[in-house]
Structure 1
Amino acid sequence: MSNKLILFCALLSSIVLDAQAWYVYHPNIDGWMKVHEPASWEDAYATCWREGTLLASPINLEMRHEMETVSLQNTSYHTGITLMFYPGGQFASLEGIPIHHIHMKIHDSEGSFEQCLSMEHDVAGSYLKKVNCSAKRPFICYRKRDHTTKECGTSDKQYKFIAATGSCYKMHTVLLPWNDAFKICRAEGGHLVVINDELEQQEVNKLITWSQEWVSVGLRQYKGTGDWMSVQGDHLEQVYNVWQPAREAISHIFPQRQCCVINKLGKLHDIKCDDDSRNFFCEKDPNHYQFV
């Protein structure tokens, strides 16, 4: 196997592995759960919110039991119980349940001014602990079953199904770097749009809100190989491939431009992945259900 192929496989697998853990249905709580890698409380909250869920809290015995079951390998993880959103200095879950209705012991060994509660395990069982919100801990996202899944396999009404392409699409008007846009689309159960042909380019062009000249799409150049591929692993020759004429002339001058945008005229252009915040466009397979 060539070094180029080995490098590409490693890069592709890192994307797949990062997105492989989908939500698992738990009948005892009539909802879905997903365990995430360690993050600060605010990042944990934002991740769950992007995925259409809540940062889980042991608000009753059933939730407490399920949280204990799915997180046996971790002795400390964030919960959605915080002081941040509620006046009067009272801890409450993100569902609005006050701490005195959550029947668990609270330890505050890290000080009385901490604004977040973690769930801890020891030989005696589980308990809550006041902790620094910025400390990184594993966390669980939770979504209660609500029967609101739409034709795009999600409850997100902003995804629109286009029969001509067989895909669902969503326009994001928030300005983010390409790398962050990639994460948002992935969290929603989709990916940055991969335009396969001229027909799809025309359909996507109709849906995009052109408040900016350029919108981020799902093409990326992989370091070390120089090969452009889609975020779904398609070679450049297999997808829509119409570039700004100047790209070839300057690509050797700006090798750090390894991500891609498109304009209203259907021209692709290379950009830096970690800056140059822009609008972005997500695509989703309607047959992929995020909560199954």
Structure 2
Amino acid sequence: MEMTLSHELEKILPRLKTLDMDWQNVPTEQISTDMEKIIDISSDENRTVTEQALRNMTLLRDATPDQDYLFYRMANGSFKLHRTPATWTDARLICYDEGAEIASPEDETLLATMSKVLLTSKQPPLFVFTGVNDLYSKGFYSSLRGTPLAAMPARWAPEEPDNVNHGNNCLVLQRNGLLHDGKCDDVYPFICYKRQTTSKSNFCGTDIDYIYDKSTKSCYKFHTEVATWHEAYATCSREAGHLAVANSDTEAKVLSRMFPKDWGVAAIGFSYWRKDLWVTIHGETLAEAGYDTWGKGEPNDWEVQRCGAVFADGTLDDIGCLRLSGYICEKKSIWI
């Protein structure tokens, strides 16, 4: 098995090493073919080894609902250019809410990648905020991670800093990679950066609560924090997925296995349209989707219970849309 896996990696890796950005320049068909080769020759016993080998290719895409993030192999992380100017404080919060941080030129790789993000973008801005500031100690600049400016490769632009002692305490980066001091209350575009943490990644991305199922080639997550059906829909979308949809008897059994002990029902992705017509969030009837097996006596109150759910045994249920319940999110594996 090891000889076969090594042989396949030797054939595939050179083709992938030529890329700087994951998934933007690689034909989808080629990605699927390469990943299938490696997965198919991997037994359950060496799946951990296989996943590590795949991660070593540095092609793991960040699982994020915002597809504007691009993975850069050279920096082992994902970047997003926010073109709409914001104050430094607002920029920091926007990045935080996206699970990221304001990018800082902490090392040669990050500096080069930030410049590349700017130079290869459409209508690139001249300046962007960085995460470098002196808010904690006047005149002592450091990144949000605490890396001091003196240890960074970025250099000041000519005649900069020009107002270091008069409130200019958030640094901006010029397209050419030079730094300027700026006021935190001014507004600039900015780059958010998600550091890759491969030690906590799997076939489902960086959210390790998602569980990959080989039979459906999808990932699932059971949320025990109860919510209304509509709130559950929004949460799954934010996680780059959707409320789970059972497309077969097999998938219904997969959903059943997701249930924690003592949980009886969970919201999933279908709802009532009119009497005897229940439709998935993808616009298919239950029969068209591939699974329409209701629990005994269900649906039992279509005038009130107009949102879909699944029992712990995998059969379908109707629930009130405002009912607080657990729910199951689904998303396709990032490799398939």
TM over 0.5, shorter chain? yes
Alignment partner of 1:23 out of 67, 70, 86 = 70
Cα distance between partner residues in 2 of 1:31 and 1:122: 20
Cα distance between partner residues in 2 of 1:178 and 1:212: 16
Tell me how far 1:142 sits from its aligned partner.
3.3
Alignment partner of 1:141 out of 184, 193, 197 = 193
The one-letter code sitting in structure 2 at the alignment partner of 1:74 is P
Residue equivalent to 2:58: none
Tell me how far 1:67 sits from its aligned partner.
1.0
Question: C-alpha offsets along residues 19-70 of structure 1, whole Å, 9 cap, x if unaligned?
Answer: 544533343x344434456584223212135xxxx54222123312321221
In structure 1, stretches of 5+ residues that fail to align are 1-17, 252-256
In the TM superposition, 1:129-168 aligns within 5 A as 129-132=182-185, 137-144=189-196, 146=198, 149-150=201-202, 152-168=203-219
Question: C-alpha offsets along residues 96-115 of structure 1, whole Å, 9 cap, x if unaligned?
Answer: 31344344556889x8498x
The one-letter code sitting in structure 1 at the alignment partner of 2:79 is M
Residue equivalent to 2:99: 48
The 1:163/1:65 distance shift into structure 2, 3 A limit, reads closer
Cα distance between partner residues in 2 of 1:23 and 1:95: 21
Cα distance between partner residues in 2 of 1:180 and 1:270: 17
Aligned partners of 1:21 and 1:34 also within 8 Å = yes
Q: TM-score, normalised by structure 1?
A: 0.59
Residue equivalent to 2:14: none
The 1:155/1:63 distance shift into structure 2, 3 A limit, reads same
Cα distance between partner residues in 2 of 1:210 and 1:108: 61
Cα distance between partner residues in 2 of 1:145 and 1:163: 23
Residue equivalent to 1:184: 238
Quote the RMSD (CA, aligned, Å).
4.5
Q: TM-score, normalised by structure 2?
A: 0.53
Q: How many residues align?
A: 242
SS at match of 1:157: coil
The one-letter code sitting in structure 2 at the alignment partner of 1:131 is C
The 1:136/1:95 distance shift into structure 2, 3 A limit, reads same
Residue equivalent to 2:111: 64
Aligned partners of 1:35 and 1:141 also within 8 Å = no
SS at match of 2:246: coil
Alignment partner of 1:97 out of 137, 147, 150 = 147
SS at match of 2:99: helix
Aligned partners of 2:102 and 2:190 also within 8 Å = no
Larger Rg belongs to: 2
Tell me how far 1:209 sits from its aligned partner.
3.6
1:286 partnered with 2:325? no
SS at match of 1:154: coil
Alignment partner of 2:257 out of 206, 224, 230 = 206
Aligned partners of 1:58 and 1:67 also within 8 Å = yes
The 1:93/1:203 distance shift into structure 2, 3 A limit, reads same
Aligned partners of 1:244 and 1:267 also within 8 Å = yes
Aligned partners of 2:128 and 2:174 also within 8 Å = no
Cα distance between partner residues in 2 of 1:172 and 1:83: 40
Task: Identify the structure with the greater helix proportion.
Answer: 2
Question: C-alpha offsets along residues 177-198 of structure 1, whole Å, 9 cap, x if unaligned?
Answer: 2354033321xxx433222234
The 1:74/1:227 distance shift into structure 2, 3 A limit, reads farther
Question: C-alpha offsets along residues 78-113 of structure 1, whole Å, 9 cap, x if unaligned?
Answer: 5444689xx76766434331344344556889x849
SS at match of 1:131: coil
Question: C-alpha offsets along residues 135-188 of structure 1, whole Å, 9 cap, x if unaligned?
Answer: 7955332334747653x25354332222343322223344562354033321xx
Question: C-alpha offsets along residues 223-267 of structure 1, whole Å, 9 cap, x if unaligned?
Answer: xxx99442xx351333345574323x248xxxxx8x755554731
Tell me how far 1:125 sits from its aligned partner.
4.5
In the TM superposition, 1:235-250 aligns within 5 A as 235-237=284-286, 238-239=288-289, 240-241=291-292, 242=294, 244-247=299-302, 249-250=303-304
In structure 2, stretches of 5+ residues that fail to align are 1-64
SS at match of 2:143: coil
SS at match of 1:48: coil
Cα distance between partner residues in 1 of 2:262 and 2:148: 43
Cα distance between partner residues in 2 of 1:271 and 1:44: 32
The one-letter code sitting in structure 1 at the alignment partner of 2:151 is H
